[in-house]
Amino acid sequence: METFSRLSAQPDRGFIVFQTMIDRLSNWSHFDPYWFDDKQKLDRQEAEASIAKLKGAIKTRNAETERRRDSSKTAQSRRAKQSDLSALTSAFQKMFGSGMTPQARGKLFELFLKELFTRQSIRMGDPFNIKGEQIDGTFKFEGENYIVEAKWQDPSTSTGDLYKFAYKVDGKMHGRGVFISVNGFSNDSLEAVVHGKHIQTILIDGEDISNVLDGRISLEKMLDFKVRAAQTRGEIYVCAIRQAAKI
């Protein structure tokens, strides 16, 4: 007892020495024949059972320690992600303010979307021009490449805007597109694009973005639901939270 008391009094409470002792005891394999066989003062089966019990206790302790560490890491990750989303939410709300030209707001919106995708572990490429076309961004999701159109404008996106984007998507090999419009899409434009067409585009609006920013759904899960809705039901404008079409 005096030995353990002295160890406990050390700055590290004797942690290293205790760990070494426990490790050696739990892996003990030498049973001195003099005491166990000749003198029969000690019982080998009882000793082996005690060692096995110690090993079990160590395994349980290690598992519980690992569980607490994982739980702590998960909590830290959740807090960090929520902090990231809070900062992005503030940036998103500021873009609704006055005193900003449409061009400046559109540029900020593109940067905001790139940051949102990145923080949700989906890397979005930079805007670029090709053959007279402006591509606002690209990303890869579940093995498929998507081109992105990002619109921040007061009215709902018109038929002409959707047609132009559909043309961009159609001109790419196995093209897929995501059209993001903060103020949504008019019913006429949706009917014109979907009716009798080979669907290659899914639509995202301000409500969808807010759902991600509020932590109600991850960007990955939202995209997955929208893609499945387009592929299985031909619905390109849906809410992943309500799991229903928006028209």
SS3 (DSSP) at 127? coil
The identity of residue 70, as a single letter, is: D
pLDDT exceeds cutoff 70 at 16: no
pLDDT band, residue 47 (cuts 50/70/90): confident
Mean pLDDT of the chain: 81
Query: Dihedral angle at the C-alpha atoms of 173, 174, 180, 183, nearest 10 degrees?
Result: 110
Residue 87 in tokens: 């900062």
pLDDT exceeds cutoff 60 at 42: yes
pLDDT in tens, 122-145: 999 887 776 667 788 899 999 999
pLDDT in tens, 183-236: 888 877 777 666 556 678 899 999 999 999 988 999 999 999 999 998 888 888
Task: Give the whole-number percent of the chain exceeding pLDDT 70.
Answer: 79
The domains of the chain are located at: 101-245
- Output phi, psi for 179, to 5 deg: -100, 120
pLDDT in tens, 60-118: 877 887 777 676 665 555 555 555 688 888 888 888 877 788 888 888 898 899 999 99
Q: pTM, whole model, 2 decimals? A: 0.64
Taking CA atoms, 67 is separated from 12, 61, 64, 73, 81, in Å, by: 23, 10, 5, 10, 21
pLDDT of residue 14: 66
Q: CA-CA distance, 195 to 200, in Å (whole number)?
A: 13
pLDDT exceeds cutoff 90 at 163: no
pLDDT exceeds cutoff 90 at 39: no
pLDDT of residue 172: 73
pLDDT of residue 106: 84
pLDDT of residue 38: 80
Highest-scoring range by mean pLDDT, 13-27, 118-132, 167-181, 206-220: 206-220
Question: What CATH architecture applies to the domain 101-245?
Answer: 3-Layer(aba) Sandwich (3.40)
pLDDT of residue 188: 78
